[in-house]
Structure 1
Amino acid sequence: MKRVVTIVLIIVVILIAAVVALPLFFKQNLLDYARNTLNKQLNAQVEVADLKLSLFRSFPKVSVELQGVVIQGKGTFENDTLLQLNSLRTTTDFKSVLHPSDMHIEEIVVDNAKINLLVAKSGEANWDIQKTSTGSEVKTQDTQDAESEFHLQLDKIEIRDVSVIYDDQAADMLLQLDDIDFDVSGQMFGSSTQLKTSGGVNEFSFSYAGVNYISKTKLSTTTLLNVNFETMTFTIAENELLINRLPLQLNGDVSMPSDSIFFDLGIQTNSSDFENFLALVPPVYESYLKDISTSGSATINGAIKGYYFGESYPGFNLNATIANGHFQYAGMPEDIKNIRAKVSISKPQGDLDLTKIVVEDAHAEIRNNPVDLLLKLTQPVSDPYFDATFVGKVNLLHLKNALPIDSVNMSGIIDANIMAQGRYSAIEKEEYQKIKTDGAVLLNDFVYQSPELTKEIRVPQGQMDFSPKQINLSKFHMLIGASDINLSGAISDYLSYLFSNGTLNGDLQLNSQHTNLNELLRLQVAETNGSKQTSEEEVLAFNVPPRINFRLKSNIKTAVINRIPIRNINGVIKAANEKLTLENLDMDMLEGQLKMNGSYQNTVQNEPLFDFGFDISKIDIPAMYNTLAGIQKMMPMTGSSTGKISTDLGIKGRLNPQLGLIASSINGKGTFSTNNLEIVNSPVFNQLSGILKKEKLRDIKVDDFMAHVNIENGNLLLTPFTTKVIGQETTVAGSLNTENLIDMRLDFMVQRDVFGPDIQKVLGVIPGNEKIKILPAGVNIKGPVGNPEVKPDLALTTKAIADATKDDLKNSLDKLGKGVLKLFEK
Structure 2
Amino acid sequence: MYNIKTPEKFIMASWLKWVLRILAGLIVLIIILLVGVTLYINTHKARVVALINTELNKNLDGSLAIGDLSPSFFRSFPGVSLTLKNVLIRDRKWTQHHHTLLDAKDFDVSVNTAALLRGTISINHIDINDAAIDLYTDTSGYSNTSVFKKSKDNKPKDPKDKSSTSAELGHFNLKNVKLTINNEHAKKLFKFDVNELRGGMNFPDSGWNAKVHMKVMARSLAFKLEHGSFIKDKLVEGDLVAGYNETSKKISVKSGNLGIGGDPFTLSALFTPANNSMNFAFHLTANQILWRSASSLVSANITKTLYKFNLDKPIDITAKIEGNFGGGDPLLYITATVKNNTLTIPGAVINNCNFNGVFTNNYIKGKELGDENSIINLVKFTGSYSHLPFVFDTLNIINLVKPIAVGAFKSSFPLTNLNYMFAKVARFDAGTGSMNMRFKADIIDLRLNKPFIAGDVIVKNAGVTYLPKNLNIKNTSVSLHFVQGTLIMDNIRIQSGKSVVTMSGRANNLMNLYYNEPEKILVNWEINSPQIHLGEFLGFLNRRKTTPVKGSSNSNNGNLVDKITNVINKSHVDLHMQVANVFYNKFLATNAKANLLLSEDGIEIKDIGLKTAGGTLAIRGRIVQDYTSNRFDVSTVINHVSIHDFFYAFDNFGLTAPTYQNLKGLLSAKAQLAGTFNGHGGILSKSLNGMVVLNLKNGALVNFNPLKTAGKIAFPFRNLNNIEIPNLDANFDIKGDMVTIKPMQITSSVINADVAGVYGINRGTDIALDIPLRNPKNDTTITDKEELKKKRYKGIVLHLAAKDDGTGKVKIGFNKDRKKD
- 3-state SS in 2 of match to 1:693: coil
Q: Match of 2:14?
A: none
Q: Name the structure 2 match of 1:359.
A: 378
Measure the CA separation in 2 of the matches of 1:708 and 1:227: 102
Q: 1:711 to 1:235 in 2, by over 3 A?
A: farther
8 Å Cα contact 1:776/1:796 also seen in 2: no
Structure 1 residue 511: Cα displacement = 1.0
Matched, 1:641 2:663: yes
SS of residue in 1 equivalent to 2:714? coil
Please point out which of 209, 219, 232 is paired with 1:253: 219
Superposed CA deviations along residues 325-368 of structure 1, whole A, max 9, x for unmatched, are 389xxxxxxxx98x63133455589986555443322136999x
Structure 1: which amino acid aligns with 2:356? K
Instruction: Specify every segment of 5 or more residues in structure 1 that has no aligned partner in the other structure, as ranges.
Output: 1-189, 193-224, 239-249, 281-293, 307-311, 328-335, 533-541, 756-771, 801-826
Q: Secondary structure at the match of 1:263?
A: coil
What's the secondary structure of 2:700's corresponding residue? strand
Partner of 2:803: 782
Assess, with a 3 A threshold, how the Cα gap between structure 1 residues 401 and 735 changes in structure 2: closer, same or farther.
Answer: closer
When residues 592 and 742 of structure 1 are mapped into structure 2, their CA distance, relative to the original with a 3 A threshold, is farther
Tell me, yes or no, if the aligned pair for 1:273 and 1:295 is still in contact at 8 Å. Answer: no
Aligned partner of 1:376 in structure 2 is 396
* C-alpha deviation, 1:629, in angstroms: 3.9
Alignment of 1:183-582 (within 5 A): 252-254=218-220, 262-265=228-231, 298-299=315-316, 319-323=335-339, 325=340, 340-344=354-358, 356-363=375-382, 371-379=391-399, 382=402, 384-394=403-413, 410-421=429-440, 437-448=453-464, 457-459=473-475, 461-502=477-518, 503-522=520-539, 545-576=568-599, 578-582=601-605
Give the match's secondary structure for 2:765: strand
Note if contact 1:624-1:631 (Cα within 8 Å) is conserved in structure 2.
no
SS of the residue corresponding to residue 514 of structure 2 reads helix
Give CA deviations for 1:304-326 in whole Å, capped at 9, x if unaligned.
Answer: 999xxxxx999977654224x38
- In the alignment, the residues of structure 1 paired with residue 650 and residue 422 of structure 2 have an alpha-carbon distance, to the nearest angstrom, of 47
Deviation of the 1:261 alpha carbon: 7.6
Structure 2 contact 665–697 (Cα < 8 Å) conserved: yes
The 1:346–1:750 alpha-carbon spacing in structure 2 relative to 1, beyond 3 Å, is farther
Are residues 1:674 and 2:696 paired?
yes
Classify 1:681/1:547 alpha carbon distance in 2 versus 1 (closer, same or farther; 3 Å).
closer
Which residue identity is paired with 1:578?
Answer: D
Counterpart Cα distance in 2 of 1:414 and 1:710: 53
Change (3 A) 1:459 1:313: farther
Instruction: Label 1:419 to 1:483 Cα distance change in 2 as closer, same or farther (>3 A).
Output: same
The 2-side partners of 1:402 and 1:668 are apart by 47
Query: For 1:504-558, what per-residue CA distance to the aligned partner results, in whole angstroms no more than 9, with x for missing partners?
Result: 22111111122232222248999999999xxxxxxxxx99944312211001222
After superposition, the Cα gap between the structure-2 partners of 1:603 and 1:468, relative to the gap in structure 1 and judged at 3 Å, is same
Query: 1:191, 1:229 within 8 Å by CA — same for their partners in 2?
Result: no
Q: CA deviation at 1:492?
A: 1.8
Q: Tell me how far apart the structure 2 counterparts of residues 656 and 402 of structure 1 sit (CA, whole Å).
A: 31
Give the superposition deviation at 1:707: 1.7
Distance 2:696 2:381 in 1: 72
The residue identity in structure 1 corresponding to 2:524 is D
What does residue 535 of structure 1 align with?
none
* Distance verdict in 2 for CA 1:734–1:372, change over 3 Å: same
Hey, what's the Cα distance between the residues in 1 that align with 2:566 and 2:227?
A: 54
- Alpha-carbon deviation of 1:570? 0.6
TM-score of the superposed pair, with normalisation by structure 2: 0.50
Residue 696 of structure 1 is matched in structure 2 by: 719
Contact persistence 2:691–2:732 (CA under 8 A):
yes
Shift of 1:444: 3.0
**Residue 739 and residue 234 in structure 1: after superposition, are their counterparts in 2 closer, same or farther (change >3 A)?**
farther
Match of 1:584 among 594, 600, 607: 607
* CA deviation vs aligned residue, 1:448-507 (integer Å, no higher than 9, x gap): 469989675334543222211312223111222322121112122211133334432211
Matching residue within 718, 728, 736 for 2:759: 736
CA deviation map 1:755-779 (0-9, x unaligned): 9xxxxxxxxxxxxxxxx96332222
Superposed counterparts of 1:111-150, under 5 Å: none
Worse overlay, 669-678 or 558-567: 558-567
**Which residue number corresponds to residue 28 of structure 1?**
none
Distance 1:550 1:352 in 2: 43
Distance in 1, Cα, partners of 2:732 & 2:341: 74
Task: Report if the CA contact (8 A) 2:667-2:694 is conserved.
Answer: yes
Give the drift of 1:783.
Answer: 2.2
Maintained 8 Å contact 1:777/1:794: no
How many corresponding residue pairs? 505
Query: After superposition, where does 1:663-812 map in structure 2 within 5 Å?
Result: 666-688=688-710, 689-712=712-735, 715-726=738-749, 728-737=751-760, 739-751=762-774, 774-783=795-804, 787-793=809-815
**Distance in structure 1 (CA, Å) of the matches to 2:769 and 2:663:** 18
TM-score by length of 1: 0.50
Structure 1 counterpart of 2:636, one-letter code: F
Rate the CA distance shift 1:779–1:315 in 2: closer, same or farther, 3 A: farther
Task: Return the letter of the residue paired with 2:357.
Answer: V
Q: Secondary structure at the match of 1:687?
A: helix
Amino acid aligned to 2:316: T
Asked if structure 2 preserves the Cα contact closer than 8 Å seen for 1:544 and 1:602, the reply is no
* Conservation of the 8 A alpha-carbon contact between 2:222 and 2:230: no
- Answer yes or no: is the 8 Å Cα contact 2:381–2:392 preserved in 1: yes
Other structure's SS at 1:495 match: helix
Please tell me the residue identity of whatever aligns with 2:732. V
Relative to structure 1, the CA distance from residue 778 to residue 515 in structure 2 (aligned partners, 3 Å threshold; closer, same or farther) is same
- State, as a whole percentage, how many aligned pairs show the same letter: 14
Report the secondary structure of 1:419's partner residue: strand
Q: Secondary structure at the match of 1:521?
A: helix
> Larger C-alpha radius of gyration, 1 or 2?
2
1:695 is paired with a residue whose SS is coil
Deviation (angstroms), 1:573: 0.8
Q: Residue 525 and residue 714 in structure 1: after superposition, are their counterparts in 2 closer, same or farther (change >3 A)?
A: closer
1:436 deviates by 6.6
Tell me, what secondary structure is at the counterpart of 2:713?
Answer: coil
In structure 2, what is the Cα distance between the partners aligned to 1:624 and 1:394? 48
- The answer to whether the Cα contact below 8 Å between 1:226 and 1:234 also exists between their aligned partners in 2 is no
Does the CA-based 8 Å contact 1:645-1:675 persist in structure 2?
A: yes
Question: How many angstroms apart in 1 are the aligned matches of 2:536 and 2:177?
Answer: 71
Distance 1:711 1:559 in 2: 28
For the 8 Å contact 2:543–2:625, the answer to whether it is kept is: no
Distance 1:447 1:629 in 2: 33
Secondary structure of residue in 2 paired with 1:751: coil
**Contact residue 251 and residue 265 of structure 1 kept, 8 A:** no
Q: d(CA) in 2 for partners of 1:794 and 1:693?
A: 24
Letter in 1 for 2:394: L
Please give the secondary structure, in 2, of the residue aligned with 1:703.
Answer: strand
Residue pair 1:436, 1:467 contacting (<8 A) in 2 also: no
What's the offset of the Cα at 1:572? 0.4
1:621-665: CA deviation from partner (whole Å, max 9, x where unpaired): 333444444635443454323233332111235445665545655
Q: Deviations over 1:156-184 (max 9, x none)?
A: xxxxxxxxxxxxxxxxxxxxxxxxxxxxx
Q: Is residue 579–residue 593 contact of structure 2 (8 Å, CA) maintained in 1?
A: yes
CA contact (8 A) 2:179 2:194 kept: no
User: What's the Cα RMSD here?
Assistant: 5.6
Amino acid at match of 2:618: K
**Do 2:419 and 2:428's aligned partners in 1 also have CA atoms closer than 8 Å?**
no
Q: Which moved more, 1:669-678 or 1:486-495?
A: 669-678
Change over 3 Å in CA distance of 1:365–1:493 after alignment to 2: closer
